[in-house]
Amino acid sequence: MVDASWWLGAVIYQIYPRSFLDSDGDGVGDLPGIIERLDYVAGLGVDAVWIAPFFKSPMADFGYDIADYRAVDPLFGTLDDFDRLLRRARALGLKVMIDQVLSHTSIAHDWFRASRESRTNPKADWYVWADPREDGGPPNNWLSIFGGPAWQWEPRRQQYYLHNFLAAQPDLNFHNPEVRAAVLDAVRFWLDRGVDGLRLDAINFCFHDRLLRDNPVKPADRRIGRGFSADNPYAYQYHLYNNTQPENLAFLEELRALLDRYPGVAALGEISSEDSLATIAEYTRGRRLHMGYSFELLTDDFSAAYIRDTVSRLDAQMQDGWPCWAISNHDVERVLSRWGRGRPSAPLANLLTAMVCSLRGPACVYQGEELGLTEADVPFEALQDPYGIAFWPQFKGRDGCRTPMPWTTVTHAGFTTGVPWLPVPKEHLELAVSRQESDAASALCGFRTFMHWRRQHPALRTGAIRFLDTPEPILAFIREDPGEIVLAAFNLSEKTATVTLPGLGVARALRGHGLREGALVDGHLCLPGYGAAFVSLDKAGHPASTAHPNARHTGATP
């Protein structure tokens, strides 16, 4: 029997293949390296792995520029290696999700090589082409996330092509039904191989405005970055026409119809739009995506109010879909550097993991989060990320969160016998897996303890959520399913904090979660610095008078 709902409340461990483990000494991680460490991943207590792109690519954007959707790049191994990975993951009880980058390809893809040759070839309309303005400039004011105009001149056709990311990543023309069919056929290839899920990169970028209308200018006081540098000119516009077009909804339904032929397969969409929360709600409605996530918790904003308001605003808009939460990934500064206030620690690392994995919906954790890794300071001469190179020194790019996993304290952290593609910072050697495994107070041991404890509490996986109106720095909410009610409270400060929670009824503290434990006495909850409390409530344990006004209670129990 296939567990079709495995993804509900799942913890998904993101693997960035280049930086996980190198098996052949070329300095770049690979699929055999992942296989070698799958026992470690399974031992963390997570439910699934999401593997970032390993497809054939010239690596202009490190795999997010795909030259062949059906081939494994030799840098990472072979199709046989991927099949071995699937078999090993299944034996360990892990689901496998892979990245699918559908909105664009590499300029090295055969489709683009044909399309660029002329305006009359069979694939001439497979990409977004447009004539220049009368003065020879780009057809409109659209900008690339990586800086500058989103249009690149092609002399063969005497036209511009659209690229929402690098110029080496031309956008496919999803208005063309042949393109949609070809993309779905590429997805089918991996479904037939047995993957359990898809992480859909930039899924709201598939369609563009047919009329190529200019994006409106955004006022200076609203130019806030979400997943990109705030000083990037991309923040100067409301991106109403270069992504998130209404035609995309029908394509998502077409994609979902394909996925539904493969029982147990789930789709997670990455969404970055002008109102990402509203787009997630729309994209997960009905027979579209199973779940969606955005960059809302991948910012510098760190407070109980911000987290509560963000999560509750999305929950209020959701109908039958599910959010997926993440506080770190391969595109943003590591959370312990963003939210650590300059004082990262194992207790904070464990608190943040427990917090995000206690919210309603699946959660993604990024490799190294379980170790409490901080952002690496990669010198300019060692940078690989074209984004960072272009915006240096105001923005150093994404290399700082992509440095190799520290497995041991030996040279290059046991990641490779060669020269690593990015340097391993000395401070990460102190946090190596080999060192933390024997330390009961380490972030790694705390991560494992919490994940295994979490599995014993179904309310934390699939229950409804209702936030409590608690003062800073305490974040508190109730998770409830038909068989269990749990109050979760987190102290986001390193100092002791106390909050009064009247009307709790009969309550019992839940032990064994591995965090610094708070104490509940006569309705007063005292939490140590970076401490937490999980409290089991009876049916009377509904402090309705403290419900946050922007939150709603969802689920079977009123």
End-to-end CA, the chain:
32
Please answer whether residues 365 and 11 qualify as being in contact, where contact means their C-beta atoms are separated by less than 8 angstroms: yes
| Type and span of the H or E element at 486 | strand 484-491
- Count of Cβ atoms closer than 10 Å to residue 337 Cβ: 19
Burial class (CB in 10 A: 0-12, 13-18, 19+), 304: buried
Cα dist. 240→207, 218, 224, 237, 273 in Å?
Answer: 11, 11, 16, 9, 8
Please answer whether residues 163 and 150 qualify as being in contact, where contact means their C-beta atoms are separated by less than 8 angstroms: yes
CA distance 335 to 312: 21
Q: Which two tokens stand for residue 194?
A: 């047995």
Query: What DSSP assignment string belongs to 428-482?
Result: HHTT-HHHHTT-TTSHHHHHHHHHHHHTT-THHHH-EEEEB-PPTTEEEEEEEET
Per DSSP, the three-state class of 335 is helix
Q: Residue type at 471?
A: P
Number of alpha helices (DSSP H) and beta strands (DSSP E) in the chain = 15, 23
Catalytic annotation, pick one of 47, 201, 369, 480: 201
- Count of Cβ atoms closer than 10 Å to residue 260 Cβ: 11
Please answer whether residues 312 and 548 qualify as being in contact, where contact means their C-beta atoms are separated by less than 8 angstroms: yes
Neighbouring-strand partners of residue 547: 468
- Which has the closest alpha carbon to 98: 51, 130, 131? 51
Cα four-point dihedral sign 237, 241, 246, 252: negative
User: 3-state DSSP: the chain helix, strand, coil percent, rounded to 5?
Assistant: 30, 20, 55
Instruction: Give the angle 40-41-46 at the CA atoms, nearest 5°.
Output: 140
Q: Residue type at 342?
A: G
Please answer whether residues 357 and 450 qualify as being in contact, where contact means their C-beta atoms are separated by less than 8 angstroms: yes
Catalytic (active site) residue 370: no
Please answer whether residues 83 and 192 qualify as being in contact, where contact means their C-beta atoms are separated by less than 8 angstroms: no
Catalytic annotation, pick one of 30, 196, 270, 375: 270
Catalytic (active site) residue 201: yes
| Cα atoms found within 13 Å of the Cα of residue 355, Cβ hemisphere only | 28
Q: Are strands 363-366 and 325-326 parallel, antiparallel or unpaired?
A: parallel
Q: Rounded to 5 degrees, what are φ and ψ at 497?
A: -140, 145
Cα dist. 473→326, 335, 426, 544 in Å?
Answer: 20, 17, 32, 21
Which sequence positions are flagged as catalytic?
201, 270
